[in-house]
Amino acid sequence: MAAIFRPSANLAAKFFLLGMGGLLAGGVFWWWVYPRTDYARGVGWVIDQPVPFSHEHHVAGLGIDCRFCHTSVEVSANAGMPPTYTCMTCHSQIWTNAALLAPVRDSLAHDAPIAWKVVNDLPNYVYFNHSIHIAKGVGCESCHGSVDRMALTFKAASLTMQFCLNCHRNPGPNLRPRAAIYDTEWRRGPDTPSPDALMKQYGIVNRDLTDCSICHR
Amino acid sequence: MIRVGALLLLAIALAACDDMTTQPKKNAYADASVGPGKVPAGTVAFQERPVAPPPVSLALIERGQERFRIYCTPCHSELGDGNGMVVQRGFPAPPSYHIDRLRQAPPGHFYDVITNGHGAMYSFAQRVAPADRWAIIAYIRALQRSQDASAADLTPAEKAALQ
């Protein structure tokens, strides 16, 4: 009886199996591993902005509070980007001829907003609200990183659903006393109230924080 | 027939495939060319309706202290002497709160300055809501008192507590 497969079929079968394995590994990498990397999420990458604004200088150097510019963070879903008027509060008098600030002066002169690029962007199906996080003791730094050390602003956390859920499943360890919410240097110390005590203080009932409709509605 | 039906089902199923990350929704900051709104003539902006001065309480002064430290200290400094960090970097110095003219100025003067600006100081009407302006004024009064009190102002009980 003649053989059904020729000897070269052995080689073809090996290549086929290797190819299938390769495709599987490649697929897992492309659709599952790669989108979860910091590289794909843009963590730590500075985005070109119209003006090279330095949070390091304004926050660490001058001691200006976050809310001086991001005025609506306590009362609104959006933290609020400052209008040019806010920049000009000081820069109408200081660095009035700096070339770096030309776009700010143009913006004021032509009544056209500065087109800042979004650094921390969330998908449209996520309804994130700044004010509730501030009201319940989550510090800016927990998501935005040490903004006071950013000479140019970049995204500090992956902001994946996993990242959100890590905290929503067990918020206690990420809460801080009210006085430390805007403090980027704050760390949990021996005299910090325990996570459970903070949960109680802020009235967080850890029951529905992982409901789908908390973030997707 | 079955084959056609299966193809039709497949077409319908695939038609539902979409990139769920692109769902148009109203997002105030999605379009950077949309700036903060202008207030039409003859109207007042949200939170701009004047409120009557609230009664002075510890909570009001504490709220004022918090707001003062956010919006005022860069120039006026925590002490209110007008030598804040931004002044140290070249901004024209505002007057100290601890001069007779400002000790005697009515609260309405401070309210007016916060609302409309004064000299080199821009208006803070967009940043400080009317109720918070009164809170800041209450705190400024406390600051002024802190630099202008003498031992004779203390009650005997307070003196005893200090000794």
Q: Kindly state whether residues A139 and A77 are assigned to the same domain.
A: yes
**Residue B25 forms part of a structural domain:** no
Contacts of A89 in chain B (CB under 8 A): 122
Interface test with A, best of B19, B22, B29 (most A CBs within 10 A): B29
**Residue A93 forms part of a structural domain:** no
The whole-angstrom distance between B142's CA and the closest CA on chain A is 21
Q: Kindly state whether residues A122 and A32 are assigned to the same domain.
A: no
**Residue A69 forms part of a structural domain:** yes
Spatial contact of A148 and A96, defined as CB atoms under 8 Å apart? no
pLDDT tens, position by position, B117-137: 999 999 998 899 999 999 999
* Cα angle value B26/B46/B131 (rounded, 5°): 135
Q: Kindly state whether residues A124 and A20 are assigned to the same domain.
A: no
B45 in A contact zone (CB under 8 Å):
no
Q: Kindly state whether residues A28 and A59 are assigned to the same domain.
A: no
**Residue B26 forms part of a structural domain:** no
**Residue A169 forms part of a structural domain:** yes
Burial A101-133 (b: 16+ CB within 10 A, else e): bebbbebbeeeebbebeebbeeeeeeeeebeeb
**Residue B155 forms part of a structural domain:** no
Percent of chain A clearing pLDDT 90 (strictly above): 70
CATH of the domain at B81: 1.10.760.10
**Residue B69 forms part of a structural domain:** yes
**Residue B11 forms part of a structural domain:** no
Contacts of B36 in chain A (CB under 8 A): 83, 113
B20 in A contact zone (CB under 8 Å):
yes
**Residue B22 forms part of a structural domain:** no
Contacts of A125 in chain B (CB under 8 A): 20-21, 23
What is the number of domains present in chain A? 2
> Which residue of chain A comes nearest to B73, CA vs CA?
A64
Q: Kindly state whether residues A124 and A18 are assigned to the same domain.
A: no
Quick one: pLDDT at residue A86?
A: 92
B29 in A contact zone (CB under 8 Å):
yes
What is the CB neighbour count within 10 angstroms for residue A182? Answer: 20
Percent of chain B clearing pLDDT 70 (strictly above): 82
**Residue B50 forms part of a structural domain:** no
What is the number of domains present in chain B? 1
**Residue A98 forms part of a structural domain:** no
The whole-angstrom distance between B109's CA and the closest CA on chain A is 20
pLDDT tens, position by position, A69-101: 999 999 988 888 898 999 999 999 999 999 999
- Res B160 pLDDT > 90: no
DSSP chain B: -HHHHHHHHHHHHHHT---TT------TTTSTT--SPPPPTT---TT-S--PPPPP-HHHHHHHHHHHHHHTHHHHTTTSSS--HHHHTTPPPPPPSSSHHHHHS-HHHHHHHHHH-BTTBPP-TTTS-HHHHHHHHHHHHHHHHHTS--GGGS-HHHHHHH-
- Res A151 pLDDT > 90: yes
Q: Give the closest of A62, A65, A113 to B33, CB-based.
A: A113
Quick one: pLDDT at residue B138?
A: 96
Q: Kindly state whether residues A25 and A125 are assigned to the same domain.
A: no
A65 in B contact zone (CB under 8 Å):
yes
Domain, as residue range, for B107: 58-145
Sign for the CA dihedral angle at A172, A176, A177, A181 comes to negative
The whole-angstrom distance between A126's CA and the closest CA on chain B is 10
Contacts of B33 in chain A (CB under 8 A): 112-113, 115
Query: Minimal CA–CA distance to A173: which of A216, A138, A148?
Result: A138
Q: Kindly state whether residues A130 and A165 are assigned to the same domain.
A: yes
Residues forming beta bridges with residue B32, ordered by sequence position:
none
* CA B89 – CA B75 distance, rounded (Å): 10
**Residue A192 forms part of a structural domain:** yes
Q: Kindly state whether residues A77 and A173 are assigned to the same domain.
A: yes
Spatial contact of B81 and B97, defined as CB atoms under 8 Å apart? yes
* CA B35 – CA A111 distance, rounded (Å): 9
**Residue A106 forms part of a structural domain:** no
Contacts of B90 in chain A (CB under 8 A): 93-94
Q: Kindly state whether residues A36 and A132 are assigned to the same domain.
A: no
Amino acid letter at A124?
A: N
Q: Kindly state whether residues A76 and A166 are assigned to the same domain.
A: yes
B111 in A contact zone (CB under 8 Å):
no
pLDDT tens, position by position, B5-43: 998 988 888 777 777 767 776 665 555 554 555 555 666
| Interval A47-72 mean pLDDT | 94
Whether A62 sits inside 8 A of B74 (CB atoms) is yes
Q: Kindly state whether residues A204 and A169 are assigned to the same domain.
A: yes
pLDDT tens, position by position, B48-59: 778 889 999 999
pTM of the model: 0.84
Instruction: Provide Rg for chain B, Cα atoms.
Output: 28
**Residue B79 forms part of a structural domain:** yes
Domain, as residue range, for A202: 55-81+116-215
* CA A158 – CA A163 distance, rounded (Å): 7
The whole-angstrom distance between A109's CA and the closest CA on chain B is 14
Q: Kindly state whether residues A19 and A69 are assigned to the same domain.
A: no
Spatial contact of A49 and A153, defined as CB atoms under 8 Å apart? yes
* CA A121 – CA B30 distance, rounded (Å): 9
* CA A114 – CA A103 distance, rounded (Å): 7
